[in-house]
Every structure is written in structure tokens, then in C-alpha cells.
Amino acid sequence: MAKTREKLSRETIVDGALALADREGLDALTIRRLAQDHGVTPMALYWHFKDKHELVAGLAERLLADVSLPDSDGPWDARLQAALVAVLAAVRPHPAVAGLVPPRILESDAGLTVADHVLGLLREAGFTAEEAAELGGYLLCAGVTLVTAEPGATDVHPASSRDEAAERKRVALAALPPERFPNVAAAADALAVCGDEDSYFERGVDLLVSGVRGLR
């Protein structure tokens, strides 16, 4: 067992958990399944994580640790936009677990670093500490929601099944009575699947930062 613990670090376990969730969805992630993937008994994982709750927190911490905050000069709003882009860059590759991040931002050093950076930019913009806390929480949650609410993103696995689900949604929306829902029917393609992901995320971040800028 000592040899197993040497091989199986927290980082290795989180890597495996993240890969499993990316591949099959968060519901597939269990201590037993993860132990099978690593070829060990569940007790080997419990050495590092006492339960799934701790493991899930470890996944959120991993995504937050992957945020590479830019160290740049310039106006506060440009740096705020760069910070949100950095958060998205870390979260976008893992839509199945993105929703774990917002409630856990203040529970790890990595999350606190991101939060403090965003709050600092908002204070620099002239908001009070209370206003910055409110706006900062909204911005970070809304940024993650861009990932979880992206058109075509579902919890369905594998990818072929996701494509089928998106197509069913598109057909259903396009078939709506045009006299009642003309705009929804006309936008059926865009509502079912994101046609240009980069544009979608850029526009979303622009909207968030423009809103904060407008409040000032």
C-alpha cells in the first residue's frame, strides 16, 4: 500500500477525475470508478480524499489553479477583461465541471488569488469594497455561466449523442409556430449550437465588462 500511495498523489487523482468527467460527465465520477481507472482499491483514494465532496472541491481548485492571471499595465477595464478571459481559458476545456467553480472560489488559495485580483481592479475603478464584492462575484459566476450555458453544451455523453441532442433541439425550435415565436424560430440554429465559440465568448466578456464600465 505504501508503494501505491507514492504513485497515487492528489495531483494524479485529480488529473484522472478531470479526464473522467470530461469524457463521461460529472455523474460518472465516483470514488469506486476512479479507483478502477487507476487499478487500485477505493481505500487508496480515500488516503488523499475522504469522500467525493473533497474530490469535487479538488477539481474546482485545479481549474482555478490553471487560471493564468495576466500581469500587465493599462486601464482597469482592459485588465478586468484580460482577467475574465484568463478564467475562461482555464474553464472552457472542462464544461462538465465548470459549474463546480463559482461556489468554491473562496475555498482555496488559487480561488482567493483570482478573487482578490478581480476585486482589486474593481476597487481601482472606484467601487467600494461592498460594491466590488457584489460585482466581482457576479462577474466570475457569469463568466463561468458562459461555459455552462453555451448553446449546444449538454451533460449528454458521448459527443455523438450531444450532436443528436442539439439537432433535436434545433428541429423543435425551427418547427415552432412562426406567428407566435417568430424570433425564436428564426434563431433556431444559433440557439441549438454555438456556431462560433470564440466570438460567443468574446462577446460575452465584452458584455460583462461594458456593463461594469457603464455603472461607473
The number of beta carbons lying within 10 Å of the beta carbon of residue 181 is 13
* pLDDT for the residue numbered 45: 84
Please compute the mean of the pLDDT values over residues 2-23 and round it to a whole number.
79
Q: Please give the Cα distance from 149 to 95 (Å, whole number).
A: 9
Q: Please give the Cα distance from 105 to 99 (Å, whole number).
A: 11
* pLDDT for the residue numbered 68: 96
pLDDT of 18 above 50: yes
* pLDDT for the residue numbered 118: 97
pLDDT of 7 above 80: no
Contacts of residue 104, defined as CB under 8 A and 6 or more positions apart, other chains included, come to 57, 60, 61, 64, 111
- Per-residue pLDDT band for 159 (boundaries 50, 70, 90) equals low
* pLDDT for the residue numbered 158: 61
pLDDT of 2 above 60: no
To the nearest 10°, report the CA torsion of 166, 168, 171, 173: -70
More confidently predicted of 203 and 42: 203
Q: Please give the Cα distance from 123 to 137 (Å, whole number).
A: 14
Q: How high does pLDDT run on average in the chain?
A: 90
